[in-house]
Amino acid sequence: MKVGLFIPCYIDQFYPQVGVATLQLLEKLGVEVSYPTEQTCCGQPMANSGCEKDAVGVYQNFVNTFADYDYTVMPSGSCTYHVRKHYDIIEQTSAVQKVRNNTLDLSDFLVNILKVKGFNGEFNHQVGLHLSCHGQRGLRNANASEFTTEQSGQTLSLLKTIRGIRLTQLKRNDECCGFGGTFCVAEEAVSARMGIDRVNDHLSNGTEILTGGDMSCLMHLEGIIRRQNHPIKVMHVAEIFNQAAL
């Protein structure tokens, strides 16, 4: 299996440890991973800003970069969703269709391709899971409380297998954090209020480590945590999985 690793812009610029953890985790699991240096951006920021036609060149570069891989893996539900769902505006060549179909979020790849059932290591912390809208509702990597009160999902199932972990029971476990890409710029007051609500839910229920599969959401929440000096650490699930993978 030949896997290409895509690292989103904000991880590359601000959270490189998440990219390193993703690579280390995949290698521990025996995956042959390459990081093609031709990669740039998936094009999501331009599309979110109403300039999707201007992103066509970026889309095509992504396809050209990853077309020869069996799978493209990303530590990001939002970037994964964008490639799978928004690359429909370019010509649907066999290469485009292959890349769209075989681009997967990290947890999806672990559970459904590698058939990982869990991890044998320890992580002795109270962990609160934030479910991103793109991962949960877009990619259907977790259920939604509009339909059921039962919590499930690929990331949650893997976290539950780690020894010593205590998972936070939130009042509203799948509510949006308010980031929403350029929404946080265009509607900053609403975005900040939504983020504050999410952080307060974690605070009131004892979260020590706030995690999730989308560093963009976590970046938004971490900004609020830092400004308000809350005793919560933010980690991407790749970092937790990597620590727990022996």
pLDDT at 246: 86
Parallel/antiparallel/unpaired status of strands 32-34 and 103-105: unpaired
pLDDT at 147: 60
pLDDT at 145: 66
Q: How far apart are CA 243 and CA 246, in angstroms?
A: 8
pLDDT at 146: 60
CB burial of residue 220 (10 Å; 0-12, 13-18, 19+): buried
Q: What are the per-10-residue average pLDDT scores of the chain (246 residues)?
A: 96 97 98 97 91 95 98 96 96 98 97 96 96 81 67 90 96 85 82 93 97 94 96 98 96
Tokens of 204: 């009131």
Q: What is the 3-state secondary structure (H, E, C) of 75-105?
A: CCHHHHHHHHHHHHHCCCCHHHHHHHHCEEE
Q: How far apart are CA 71 and CA 57, in angstroms?
A: 21
Phi–psi pair at 181, nearest 5 degrees: 65, -125
pLDDT at 22: 98
Delineate the domains of the chain, giving CATH numbers in brackets. Answer: 2-113 (no CATH), 126-244 (3.40.50)
Parallel/antiparallel/unpaired status of strands 71-74 and 2-5: parallel
Helix, strand or coil for residue 123? coil
Q: How far apart are CA 65 and CA 70, in angstroms?
A: 12
Q: How far apart are CA 89 and CA 56, in angstroms?
A: 8
Task: Return the DSSP state at 68.
Answer: T
Cβ burial 53-92 (10 Å sphere, 16+ → b, else e): eebeebbbbbbebbbebebbbbbbbbbbbbbbebbeebee
Q: pTM of the full predicted structure?
A: 0.94
Phi–psi pair at 3, nearest 5 degrees: -115, 130
